[in-house]
Amino acid sequence: MAGESYRRIFLWDVENDREAGVLEEPPRMVRALEFSPDGQTLVVAGGDRTIQVWDLVQMRQEVVLDGHAEMGQTLRFSWDGRLLASGGSDHVVRLWETTEYRQLSALYGHSAEVREMAFSPDGSLLASASGDSTIRLWDVAAEKTLAIFEGHASSVLTVDFSPDGRMLASGAGNSVQLWDLNTYRKTRELQAHMGTVNAVRFSPDGQILASGSWDGSVLLWPTGVGMSTAVGTSAADQASGLPRKFLLHQNYPNPFNGGTVIRFTLPRSGEASLMIFNLLGHKVRTLVNDNRDAGEHLVHWDGRNGNGKELSSGVYLYRLKIGDKMRVCRLLMLK
């Protein structure tokens, strides 16, 4: 573990809870730290536009990389450690080989700062999240853009590949979006956070997606929920990833204690509302009240009302409405 203070970087032995070393004179205003996969190298980016490479065996600075026109924002090693990607406020993604740390390429396309990047598990793809509200998917070997994912309305702060490389998760605003890397389509949107989502990560087995937010919460999403194609879709619809039917699914888990996920599918885009009611018909929470794209959507409910107060145990109704169509289901909350 590494942390910066007063132009020094402190290394920490987290198992024994003690300081493991100090690196002197890192870049001013450190913005990014990244360990190599073998743990023997630390790269540091900061406000002086340089990237420092530190040898943690010898505890010395090995080389300084100079390429970005503005401060660095994010660093990421490929899984095999052979490549280093750097992104900065100059809108550019740069790739470096890690034997001699020579720049291999500069990838242009973003119109705002690069906030975070991720390599696919096999290292053939790189995803970059940007302040221009897009995610770009790059072919590393060909040094070209394969796809541009547009779906977020604000700066994309975080991105991560699933362990099997078939799915990409991104976070911006108060939502998480999932992208199919075979079709390059958005497959679902997860909403529950009250603040900006600034971190998404898949579990090593790919069964859970974690999302962290400036609202102080971390939510866990079961990736198996809603991953199958909706019943009644045609072969053409399955290929496009779009459902034909308006569906509201049973929440999962049910009964629940602490939080549950509600899944619904829309055959077309439109103004959608998803609300929670008690058995007296009184609305206790609005979970969705905005325009939604066609496709599958997952929304988390934490068992609280609109004022943040925990509700009592019992049966509640959740109602989905879009246009003249409406569906209602029951759920059971236990304390």
Structure token digits, residue 244: 């034909």
Q: What is the dihedral of CA 171, 120, 125, 131, to 10 degrees?
A: 20
Enter the CATH code of domain 240-333: 2.60.40.1930
Dump pLDDT digits (tens) for 23-62: 887 777 888 999 999 999 999 998 788 899 999 999 999 9
* Arithmetic mean of pLDDT, 97-111: 95
- Give pLDDT tens digits for 309-322: 999 999 999 999 99
Q: Given this model, what pLDDT does residue 115 score?
A: 96
Task: Report how far residue 72's alpha carbon sits from residue 28's, in angstroms, rounded to the nearest whole number.
Answer: 11
Instruction: Name 117's bridge partners.
Output: 128
At the fourth CATH level, which superfamily is domain 51-222? YVTN repeat-like/Quinoprotein amine dehydrogenase (2.130.10.10)
Q: What is the 3-state secondary structure (H, E, C) of 131-159?
A: CCCEEEEEECCCCEEEEEEECCCCCEEEE
pLDDT tens profile 256-270: 888 888 989 888 889
Report the pLDDT value the prediction gives residue 20, as an integer from 0 to 100.
86
What is the structure's pLDDT at 56?
93
pLDDT for res 243: 56
The residue type found at 230 is A
143-164 exposure pattern, b = at least 16 Cβ within 10 A, e = fewer: eeeebebebbeebbbbbbbbee
Q: Which DSSP string corresponds to 91-144? A: S-EEEEESSS--EEEEE---SS-EEEEEE-TTSSEEEEEETTSEEEEEETTTTE
Q: What are phi and psi of 237, to 5 degrees?
A: -70, -35
Neighbours of 142 (CB within 10 A): 10
Tokens representing 333? Answer: 């909350």
Domain regions of the chain by residue span: 51-222, 240-333
- pLDDT number for residue 231: 27
Q: What is the mean pLDDT of residues 190-207?
A: 87
> 77-81, 240-244, 305-309, 331-335 — which is least confidently predicted?
240-244
Amino acid at 144: K
Q: What is the pLDDT of residue 2?
A: 56
pLDDT at 239 over 70: no
* pTM assigned to the model: 0.71
Alpha-carbon distance of 51 to 64, in angstroms, equals 6
